[in-house]
């Protein structure tokens, strides 16, 4: 388990964060390994299926054994019970689609980064008041980079990360970073498998390319 400051520094250093879930553990293991080979060092698994807790625990063991630089967090956390379950498994950070005081309290007490999802200045202000140093702009496809440009001056100390609506291409990524984000969460579009692919090399290559777009 990493401290809040350690997770913030890692996200700033490696600002492309895959957001992923699959019921099949072997698929999860191969996916996370390919992302790591592609340069990913922060990964958000999401609690969206019956096997989420079991698979996260297995992914953490695999990370500890084989992916030493990876920060592994859990997303789609909406309740105190969920947060406590994953903190017990040493999740490095917690991501939620909502702003909820009890989630802030649980994670702050554990010195673990909480990234709440926000869609309005009021929600961002509440997240800030609750101690969140980084918020997820969600859904990013609805809000867009222009929204961030408009509200960012109101929150000079806050860090922002859009999830949803970030495409794995230079145009999309550069618009978000030009608007002032500190990181981007990337879900289904990052993981769209080419029809001709027979292994995971396509995902390794795509992660490398996306990272190049960020650093270009």
CA distances from 72 to 11, 40, 92, 179 (A): 11, 11, 6, 26
**Per-residue pLDDT averaged across 11-40, rounded?**
97
Q: Over 90: is that where the pLDDT of 35 sits?
A: yes
**Per-residue pLDDT averaged across 130-158, rounded?**
96
**Per-residue pLDDT averaged across 202-215, rounded?**
95
Q: What is the pLDDT of residue 197?
A: 84
Q: Over 80: is that where the pLDDT of 216 sits?
A: no
- Confidence band of 215 (pLDDT split at 50, 70, 90): confident
Give 6: exposed, middle or buried? Use CB within 10 Å, 0-12, 13-18, 19+. middle
Rg of the chain's alpha carbons, rounded to an integer? 16
Domain 4-215: homologous superfamily in CATH: Aldolase class I (3.20.20.70)
Structure confidence by residue, pLDDT tens digits, 63-115:
999 999 999 999 999 999 999 999 999 999 999 999 999 999 999 999 999 99
User: Is there a contact between 20 and 110 (Cβ–Cβ < 8 Å)?
Assistant: no
The number of residues making up the chain comes to 216
Q: State the helix-helix crossing angle for 52-66 and 80-88, rounded to 10 degrees.
A: 30
Structure confidence by residue, pLDDT tens digits, 179-198:
999 999 999 999 999 988 88
* pTM of the model as a whole: 0.96
Which H or E run includes 13?
helix 4-13
**How big, in percent rounded to 5, are the helix, strand and coil portions of the chain?**
50, 15, 35
């Amino acid at each position: 388990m990493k401290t809040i400051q350690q997770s913030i520094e890692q996200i700033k250093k490696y600002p492309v964060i895959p957001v992923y879930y699959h019921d099949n553990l072997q698929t999860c293991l191969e996916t996370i390994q390919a992302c790591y080979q592609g340069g990913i060092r922060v990964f958000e698994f999401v609690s969206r299926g019956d096997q989420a807790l079991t698979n996260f625990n297995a992914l953490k063991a695999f990370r500890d054994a084989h992916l030493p630089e990876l920060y592994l967090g859990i997303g789609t956390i909406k309740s105190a019970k969920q947060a406590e379950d994953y903190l017990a498994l040493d999740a490095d950070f917690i991501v939620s689609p909502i702003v909820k005081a009890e989630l802030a309290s649980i994670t702050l007490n554990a010195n673990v980064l909480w990234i709440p999802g926000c869609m309005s200045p009021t929600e961002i202000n509440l997240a800030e008041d609750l101690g969140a140093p980084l918020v997820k702009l969600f859904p990013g496809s609805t809000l867009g980079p222009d929204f961030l440009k408009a509200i960012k001056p109101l929150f000079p100390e806050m860090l922002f990360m859009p999830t949803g609506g970030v495409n794995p291409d230079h145009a999309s990524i550069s618009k978000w970073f030009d608007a002032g984000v500190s990181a981007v969460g990337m879900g289904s579009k990052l993981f769209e498998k080419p029809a001709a692919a027979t292994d995971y090399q396509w995902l390794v290559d795509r992660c490398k390319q996306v990272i190049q777009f960020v650093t270009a």
